[in-house]
Amino acid sequence: MERTSPLNAVEHNNTLGWINGFIGVLIFSGSLPATRLAVLEFNPIFLTVARATIAALLGLCLLWLFKEKRPARHQWVPLIIVALGVVIGFPLLTALALQYVTSAHSIVFVGLLPLATAVFGVLRGGERPRPVFWLFSILGSLLVMGYAVSQGLSAAPAGDLLMLLAILACGLGYAEGAKLSRTLGGWQVICWALVVSLPVVAPLTLLLMPASFSGISLPAWLSLAYVSLFSMLIGFVFWYRGLAQGGIAAVGQLQLLQPFFGLALAATLLHERVSLGMLVVTVAVILCVAGAKRFAR
């Protein structure tokens, strides 16, 4: 019987990591277009807590099904940070932002997410990137802000500010979750973070629930289902598994593809106009983030 060499096993694991990470990025790419559809008919705060509650209940079932042990005492604070960042912060801030801006416009800001994750990796993980890293970081930030100003920042300053805050919250949640996944496990991190948020989001879901759902269309319900099942839970299962198999630094590069997929979905599903300026800025930001990642160590 032919045995698999250790080298081939490592390569196979890396390949699986890239595949899982790619699936995760594809799933996340639909989050902003789906949120844009949902907030047209759902209150953004209700949407945030409802999607978190649905995902948390499913996550609790997964933890019970696989008989996962409770996190250690020192892991609860990082889990709370993950919950504040990716379970509550990013969904709420983007839902609020998408009342003012289109999903295509907001996706340009998502180009900063890998950079925000790296910055918080420096702050939380003690990494010391080279000076060139900060050059690309500042250039990318200036490109995004310059684009926002050129498109009329004064017309929707709240939407742009909320998107920037959303990216910061998500970057912190990603960095903290990636650090925690080394000891707690990949999918377990998001499941426990969802469970941590459940005592808060479940009562708010009941409190903010509309008196009647009769006026809610099928696309809005499908969007709620998507952001609850895929964006909040299933996407993280693939994403964290990919990070664990292929390496956080390597597979994390796949986030750079997310703006492209998101813009394509916004144009295809929502019939939003994707201007040449949006594409140029998105490509430029991706190049800056790629350069920053190149000199992160």
CB 17 within 8 A of CB 244: yes
Residue 149: inside a domain: yes
pTM: 0.83
- Confidence at residue 1, expressed as pLDDT on a 0 to 100 scale: 46
* Separation in Å, CA 32 to CA 49, 54, 186, 257, 271: 16, 18, 23, 14, 14
Residues in the chain with pLDDT < 50?
Answer: 1-2, 153-154
Task: Of 188, 225, 152, give the one whose Cα is nearest residue 78.
Answer: 188
How far apart are the C-alpha atoms of 205 and 227, rounded to whole Å?
Answer: 15
Is there a domain that residue 6 lies in?
no
pLDDT tens-digit readout, 53-72: 999 999 999 999 999 999 99
- What length is written for the chain? 297
| Residue 7 included in any domain | no
Domain range enclosing 170: 12-208+219-294
Q: How many domains does the chain have?
A: 1
Report yes or no on 51 lying in a domain.
Answer: yes
Within a 10 A sphere around the Cβ of 62, how many other Cβ atoms? 17
Residues 114-149: b if buried by 16+ CB within 10 A, e if exposed: bbbbbbbbeeeeeeebeeebeebbebbbebbeebbe
Determine, yes or no, domain membership for 5. no
Place of tokens 């890396």: 14
Taking only the tens place, the pLDDT of each residue in 41-56 is 999 999 999 999 999 9
pLDDT of 59 reads 96
In the prediction, which pLDDT does 155 show?
Answer: 57
According to the model, what pLDDT value does residue 90 have? 94
Distance (Å, rounded) from C-alpha 200 to C-alpha 255? 30
Does any domain span residue 4?
Answer: no
Predicted confidence at residue 192, as pLDDT, reads 97
Judge residue 56's burial from the number of C-beta atoms within 10 Å of its C-beta, 0-12 exposed, 13-18 middle, 19 or more buried.
Answer: buried
Q: Are 59 and 148 in contact (CB under 8 A)?
A: no
* Structural domain includes residue 3: no
**Do the domain assignments include residue 150?**
yes
What's the pLDDT at 154?
45
